[in-house]
């Protein structure tokens, strides 16, 4: 149970058809609830799985008609489990916002302006924003008097050190739509910017590869962001599990004309990438398929590897070299084939990876480079820890 000076935060992840509640005491996740939709007699119902700190799971013996009901149920479960009560109330509810624009490049305690700004950005973010709005409204209705904080997914990347924030579009268009290369995966990169020097691994020119279901690459100069692969939205940059990555903008325009903007954005974000090419968005299945001679899997894998290696090479040219590479997130931390395939293409820059290197959890990182190579690190990310730290700073500042 939390001590009196340990903050208790509820972190929301509101999807289009799911809701996840993760309860933290300090930086320790003590319990999570995952509500997801199922089909039952032709109707959509929602079930809940409880995951406790020891890893044990329990499916609640109950079904709900909508995700709106999930919030009241979550409150009941957390109180029943003894995680929140009068002596240990919630200090804040954190909602990550994947949305573009100056307002959303910073963290904010939710107020009327927040809701107005969210309404404005639904045009460019029709997939993420509706779930975010639903989550915020339900949180405020259910957990009254608890501050709700929106956590920007680009805050850590929108610093003066960035050299790639502009688009070559007419100024009036930039201003009308508040366009910019804001970047994303900011909570992961923000954590890395603190963790790398903490581990004593800081080099002048570094590239961090966040490779998970979504993929991006960020270049750091003296520990500060200089370049990042994602832009106005996470769609720009690398191909990933279901995203196209950067493609000819004309294709987007043609799809918008044919399908409508919302459906075109959905197709490029949710129905493309590895899934479209290989029929799977699971990198393990794609690797297995490629090894078994499946041509589609092999093509998807090669395009993915070329994309990451190419972006690292691009950043090397822009920085005038690279002193170290960091891999993080699910694929980056766990997939030896992916890491080695990428590093093999970068041998000309002085990088060579071991074939069997794994993470040493006692050190908190691993150097998977050969002895005659520049460093290649695996560092696990902790996006929740970064968000909790920044939310605590914001709330303390207001108090």
Which residues are marked as active site?
Answer: 153
> What sign results for the dihedral spanned by CA atoms 51, 7, 84, 115?
negative
Residues 6 or more apart whose Cβ sits within 8 Å of residue 321: 205, 349
Residues 6 or more apart whose Cβ sits within 8 Å of residue 253: none
Phi, psi torsion values for 383, nearest 5 degrees: -65, -35
Phi, psi torsion values for 100, nearest 5 degrees: -95, 165
Query: Rounded to 10 degrees, what is the CA torsion of 321, 327, 331, 333?
Result: 160
Residues 6 or more apart whose Cβ sits within 8 Å of residue 127: 16, 265, 266, 269, 270
Q: What is the DSSP letter of 347?
A: G
How far CA 250 is from CA of 99, 293, 336, in Å, comes to 23, 33, 36
What residues does 13 pair with on adjacent strands? 20
> What sign results for the dihedral spanned by CA atoms 101, 104, 106, 112?
positive
Question: CB of 387 within 8 A of CB of 96?
Answer: yes
Structure tokens at 31: 């319990």
Burial class (CB in 10 A: 0-12, 13-18, 19+), 3: exposed
Continuous H helices in 45-185: 68-80, 112-120, 129-142, 171-177
Nearest-angstrom CA–CA distance, 19 and 356: 37
Question: CB of 240 within 8 A of CB of 215?
Answer: yes
Nearest-angstrom CA–CA distance, 188 and 387: 9
């Amino acid at each position: 149970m939390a001590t009196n000076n340990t903050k208790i935060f509820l972190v929301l992840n509101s999807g289009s058809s799911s809701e996840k509640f993760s309860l933290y005491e300090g930086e320790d996740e003590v319990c999570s609830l995952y509500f997801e939709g199922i089909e039952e007699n032709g109707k959509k119902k929602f079930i809940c799985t409880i995951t406790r700190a020891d890893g044990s799971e329990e499916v609640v013996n109950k079904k709900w008609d909508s995700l709106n009901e999930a919030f009241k149920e979550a409150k009941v479960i957390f109180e029943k489990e003894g995680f929140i009560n009068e002596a240990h109330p919630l200090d804040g509810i954190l909602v990550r916002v994947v949305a573009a624009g100056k307002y959303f490049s910073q963290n904010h305690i939710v107020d009327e302006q927040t809701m107005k700004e969210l309404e404005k950005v639904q045009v460019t973010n029709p997939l993420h924003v509706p779930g975010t709005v639903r989550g915020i409204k339900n949180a405020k209705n259910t957990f009254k008097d608890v501050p709700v904080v929106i956590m920007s997914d680009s805050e850590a990347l929108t610093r003066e050190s960035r050299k790639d924030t502009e688009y070559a579009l007419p100024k009036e268009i930039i201003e009308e739509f508040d366009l910019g290369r804001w970047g994303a995966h900011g909570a992961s990169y923000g954590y890395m910017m603190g963790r790398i020097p903490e581990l004593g691994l800081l080099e002048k020119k570094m590239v961090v590869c966040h490779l998970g279901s979504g993929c991006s690459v960020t270049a750091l100069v003296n520990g500060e962001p200089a370049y990042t692969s994602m832009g106005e939205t996470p769609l720009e940059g690398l191909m990933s599990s279901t995203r196209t990555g950067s493609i000819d903008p004309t294709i987007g325009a043609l799809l918008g004309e044919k399908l409508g903007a919302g459906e075109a954005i959905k197709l490029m974000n949710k129905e493309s990438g590895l899934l479209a090419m290989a029929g799977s968005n699971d990198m393990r299945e794609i690797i297995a398929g490629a090894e078994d001679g499946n041509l589609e899997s092999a093509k998807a894998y090669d395009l993915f590897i070329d994309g990451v290696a190419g972006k690292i090479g691009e950043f090397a040219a822009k920085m005038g070299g690279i002193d170290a590479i960091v891999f993080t997130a699910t694929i980056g931390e766990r997939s030896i084939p992916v890491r080695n395939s990428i590093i093999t293409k970068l041998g000309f820059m002085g990088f060579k990876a071991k074939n069997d290197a794994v993470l040493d959890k006692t050190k908190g990182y691993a150097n998977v480079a050969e002895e005659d190579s520049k460093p290649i690190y695996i560092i696990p990310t902790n996006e929740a820890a970064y968000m909790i730290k920044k939310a605590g700073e914001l709330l303390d500042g207001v108090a």
